[in-house]
Each structure stands twice: as structure tokens, then as C-alpha cells.
Amino acid sequence: MKKFLIAFTILTSIIALNKHAYSEKVHGIAMHGTPKYASDFENLDYVNPNAPKGGTVKFGSYGSFDNLNRVAFKGSKAAGLGYVNDTLMRRVWDEAFSLYGLIAEKVELPEDRSSITFYLNSNATFHDGSPITRDDVLFSLETFQTKGTPNQKKTYGKVVETQLIGNDGIKMIFENNEDKELPLIIAGFLPIIPKKFYENLDVTKTFLDIPLGSGPYQVDSLDPGRQIKYKRVENYWAKDLPVNKGLYNFDTIIYDYYKDSNVLVEAFKVGEYDFRREYNVKRWLSEYDFKAVQNGEVILTEMNNDRPVGMNGLVMNTRRDIFNNRNVRLALSYAYDHEWINKTIYQNAYVRTDSYFDNSPLASSGLPSKNELELLNVWKDEIPAEVFTETFTPPITDGSGNDRKNLLKAKEILEKEGWFVENGKLIKDGKEFKFEFLIVSPSDEKIALAYQSNLKKLGITMDVRTVDSSQYQERLLSYDFDMIKRYWGVSLSPGNEQQFYWGSEVGQKDGSRNYPGINSPAVDALIEKLISATNREELTTAIHALDRVLLWGHYVVPLYHSNKDRIAYWDFFEYPDEIPLYGIVIESWWINKDKQ
């Protein structure tokens, strides 16, 4: 087995105080500090620059898809669409947040980050051979400013002026320089779409026409809702750039869709697809001793990771009257028996999550530091007192499945808020405490039923409803649910995505990931603090403060996480010796054609 390495020294160097100004044309930029790779680098450390090209890889996806439009946020986008359109710069995975030249060969970023200037690579082309121009960049920016998701509109809307510089430069000037992450977001996340393809379309609507792109793959064929096939672009304009060498080695990538999660697993076992990342630990421990594993055709690998795990939780939609009381939401946390569920359903394989940035130095712990208090005291009258006086810990049970003390605590809290049991039902002002738990995956049913049983003891009626993936997605976009189980991922450099997750403004518009409907000036202010941070210390302080306010808001019932990556793959895959900071990069793998 090849040795997996995590370069901790890389992270240390990245998070140093940034005193470097990119006032001249440079090949790469970092959120804090300076980029790891010098201007003359030949390839990334976590790739094999001589990896052979070829072969077909199949992935399995759950659900369905009905959209190939990168702009429209409605519908379900097909897996793999990110391979079709290049961005101005490419993010790498062995640094917290650094970017290197792609469509933009060079970049200028002044020290105050009040603007950014991109200088386009003269070789950059779309798949039809036509050049990527500054007009395409401007069109892309304007399109996502006006037609994208609420978060895209808010973020890209901070560009208030553009200027053409020389023959190949485009300068974007910001409304202010408070958002220190904004230049990197534009550089690494704005898909550059061809104006000639999109300008006559209603980009707010879904479509299944094969789009014109510029990335390493293009759509080859599709069976709507069932399969999409991508083929590697042999004359891909950026294939020899240092940031791309050794990547994108498969000739063909196929995503097959399955509407039943159990069928999805069984399909992997018989070779219907080739690579699987397993998130269900119980399934990993109990269902992976099949014939292909026993004879060595399928390889199982576990590895520790040091990424922040994000938040996996039961989300209460505060837009609903029944959930707009913080203490009521706290009471529902006392009704969730993590210890029994972890032992009985998951064989004690998980760790309880107690931070939105768990498993990393970004997680708050203990009482607030002096620097955190400076941020929090501004909002002292707006946030729970516990933020200042207590360390957050989710309610703990004895694991017996019948721990009455937590249910009695929940009952006590509910009665203080005016909820009393009448004829076996929890009632307030003649209204029954009743809600629906909306799920899309059958694997969530056991958690839902266990939770339902405990809530019933409090007189609460929770109906469990399972819907198909398209209906689920539609209801998510319009926040048409009472409770869902949801996960928010985070990186080692949180930033503007936190507005998309928790911001008040985007939470009032369809399409954000502010599923709880958080509407808090304190949360908004702390997000602004973290995206305006000029160094790692400021960033961490703001994140710790934000974490505390979110936790004590009791917007979700925190569930669990694991600090291991679990993958299963058929033995014809090969991959580099080094695994970067963020974990496996499947784009760096290749196929041993003899074995396949």
C-alpha cells in the first residue's frame, strides 16, 4: 500500500501573516501568506506528471438530474459539470487557499485588495477553437451578478467597475476593500462561459442542451436523469500548464444515476461503477466483505484527515412559527439520543459534532478569548448570554435508549414556553406541536424513526416523509420544509460561502443554503469580519466567534462526524504517493489498462 502523506508544514507556511503585495504581475495568489509554488514550478507535488492517459471510469450518483445550465440554480445539475468550464485561476489542494494561473496567465492584486487585474492567456480557447476573450469574462461576471444564486449575486455584485487594460488585461474594481477573499473568489470560482452560446438563452431556466465549454472535459452524451458521459478534450488548451500536468487522465468519465441508495451500493459490488466514497460507517463495517474484496479486485482504504468536517445536523426551519423560538429548538435537541443511535445503528463509529468547524483549529472551544469578546460584545444584547459564559456541548444521554432525564429537561423547557400535554398531544393556544421531517435517502429513515419515537414521548407528532430527489431539490430551493437532515462542508479558509450558508439577506431569497432561515445581525456582522480578515489570526478569531453564535442559536440538532475518509475502488486504479492536505484528488488518478 502506498503511503499517504499530509503536508502539515505546508499549512504552517500558508497561514503566516500576509505582508506580500501582488502589485506586479504574478503567477499565483494566496488568501494569506504567499503561494507555495514559485513561478517556475513544473507540476504540483501531489500528481504524477507522467501519468498515462486513457481508459473509462464510471461513478455512481444518487437521484437524478435535469439541468446542464451552469447559471440556473433551479433543478438538479448533472454531476461533473465543473469539468466543462475553466475559471480564471485554478485552486490547488495542498494549500489552505491558493490559486495559480489558468485562463488568466498572470494577475495583479494590490496590497489593499481594492481591485484585481487579470491578464488572459492568449492560448485560452473554448472547445470549438474560438478564443476566450475579455468580452466572455465580462459577460460571465455580469450574468452571475444578475442571474446567479443569491450568494453569487451578492458576492460578484461587489464588483462596481471594470476596465480593459492593454491588449489582454481586465481590471475589476470593488465597492470597497473590506472583503479580502473576494479577489480569490472571482479568480477561482467564477465559471467563464461563452457569450456566443449563452447570450440568447434565458439563463435562469434549466436546459439539457450540451453546453460549449473550455475545460478538460466536454459532455459527450446523456440519458436525462439516468446517465451523463464526458470525454476528455484531447486538444485541451491548458493540458500542459504546470497547474494541470498529471491531472485529468481518464479518457471517459461516466456518471450513472440510481434512485435507490441500496441499489447504488450493490451496483458497485458487481462492478457497475468503479469508485465509491462511503459515508455510512455502519455500512462500511458490515457490507464490504463481498467477493471482489475477498479476491483483491476491490481495494478498501481508510485514512485519517485533518480537514474541518463542517456541520451535519437536523435543520429546523425558523421560517415556520413552530421553530422560531430558540428555547423550543433547544428542547428538541434534548430529545435526540445520539449515544443510543451511535451505538445501536452505527456501532459507535462516529464522534458527536459540537462545532460548525469541528476537527480543526477553527472550532471554538472553552470560553471566548479576549479578541473574540471584542467582536461579541458589540452584539451582547442580540445574542444568547451562554455565548459568553458557557462552553457549548450537545445534550448527552446514557446510551440506554430510555434516558428520561433529557426528556424531562425538554419537557421543562417546553412548558416554560407555554407548551403542555393535553390528551397525549403537546398543545399551545389550541395548536398542536406537529411537523414533518422531509427525507430523500432511505438511509436516513432509521435516525428519523428513532427521533420520532422520542418526540412522541413529549407529545410531539413528527411525520416522516420520503420524496424523490427532484421533488426534494425543488422544496429545498424554496425552503418548503419543516425539518431536514443537511450537511454544510467547510474548508481551511472559510469565507464568502458563509454568507450563502447563514446570511440574512440570502436567506430571504430562494436558492441559498441558509436552510434554517437564520436572520441575525450578529451573524451577518461576524461573517463580514471573517471575509475582511487580513491575516490568519483575525480570520480564526472571527470564525470562533461566529461558531459560538451559531451553536447557541440552536438552529440545528448537531449529529456526528468521522475524521476518516473511507474509499473503495476496483484495482485497476493507480495514484500518486502523496495525498494533499484536503485529501484524495481523484483527478490525479489514472488507469492501469492491463488490469482494466
Compute the average pLDDT of residues 485-506. 95
Residue 179 has phi, psi (to 5 degrees) of -90, 95
Q: What pTM value is reported for the model?
A: 0.84
Neighbouring C-beta atoms of residue 489, cutoff 10 Å: 12
**Coil, strand or helix at 186:** helix
Neighbours of 177 (CB within 10 A): 16
Cα distance between residue 516 and residue 473, in whole Å: 16
In tens, the pLDDT along 375-407 reads: 999 999 999 999 999 999 999 999 998 889 999
What pLDDT sits at residue 12? 36
pLDDT digits (tens, 9 = 90+) for 224-235: 999 999 999 999
Per-residue confidence (pLDDT) for residue 510, from 0 to 100 = 93
Q: In which residue are the cell numbers 471566548 written? A: 368
Confidence (pLDDT) at 287: 94
Burial class (CB in 10 A: 0-12, 13-18, 19+), 381: exposed
Please name which of 44, 53, 50, 51 lies closest in space to residue 231, comparing C-alpha atoms. Answer: 53
Tell me what pLDDT residue 22 has: 56
Q: What is the pLDDT of residue 549?
A: 98
Q: Which amino acid is at 90?
A: R
Q: What is the pLDDT of residue 346?
A: 87
354 has a pLDDT exceeding 90:
yes
What are the residue ranges of helices labelled H in 148-298?
150-156, 182-189, 195-198, 261-269, 281-286, 291-294
Confidence of residue 18 (pLDDT cuts 50, 70, 90): very low
C-alpha to C-alpha distance for 248 and 592, rounded to whole angstroms: 15
Calculate the CA dihedral of residues 275, 281, 287, 291 and round it to 10 degrees.
Answer: 40
- The helix (H) or strand (E) run that includes residue 558 is strand 556-558
Query: Could you tell me which of 28, 91, 63 has the C-alpha nearest to residue 580?
Result: 91
Q: What whole-number distance in Å separates Cα of residue 585 and Cα of residue 596?
A: 20
Long-range contacts of 384-392 (CB under 8 A, 24+ apart): 384/326, 384/549, 384/552, 384/553, 386/552, 387/548, 387/549, 387/552, 391/365, 391/366, 391/367, 392/354, 392/355, 392/364, 392/548, 392/551, 392/552
At a CB cut-off of 8 Å and minimum separation 6, what does 543 contact? 357, 362, 364, 494, 530
Q: Give yes or no for residue 97 having a pLDDT over 80.
A: yes
Q: What is the dihedral of CA 11, 16, 20, 26, to 10 degrees?
A: 0
Mean pLDDT, range 81-104, rounded to an integer: 97
The DSSP 8-state label assigned to residue 244 in this structure reads T
pLDDT at 2 over 70: no
Q: What is the pLDDT of residue 403?
A: 86
Share of the chain above pLDDT 70, in %: 96
Report d(CA 32, CA 513) in Å as an integer. Answer: 26
Angle at 199 between CA 144 and CA 225, to 5 degrees: 75
Burial class (CB within 10 angstroms; exposed 0-12, middle 13-18, buried 19+) of 338: buried
**Rounded alpha-carbon distances, angstroms, from residue 33 to 15, 18, 168:** 6, 4, 27
Indicate if the alpha-carbon torsion angle 439, 444, 447, 453 is positive or negative.
positive
Q: Tens digit of pLDDT for each residue in 324-337?
A: 999 999 999 999 99
Place of cell 470560553: 367
Q: Which residue has the cell 485588495?
A: 113
Structural element, H or E, at residue 543: helix 536-552
pLDDT tens digit sequence for 506-532: 999 999 999 999 999 999 999 999 999
Q: How many residues does the chain have?
A: 596
* Cβ–Cβ under 8 Å, residues 126 and 196: no
Q: What is the mean pLDDT of the chain?
A: 93
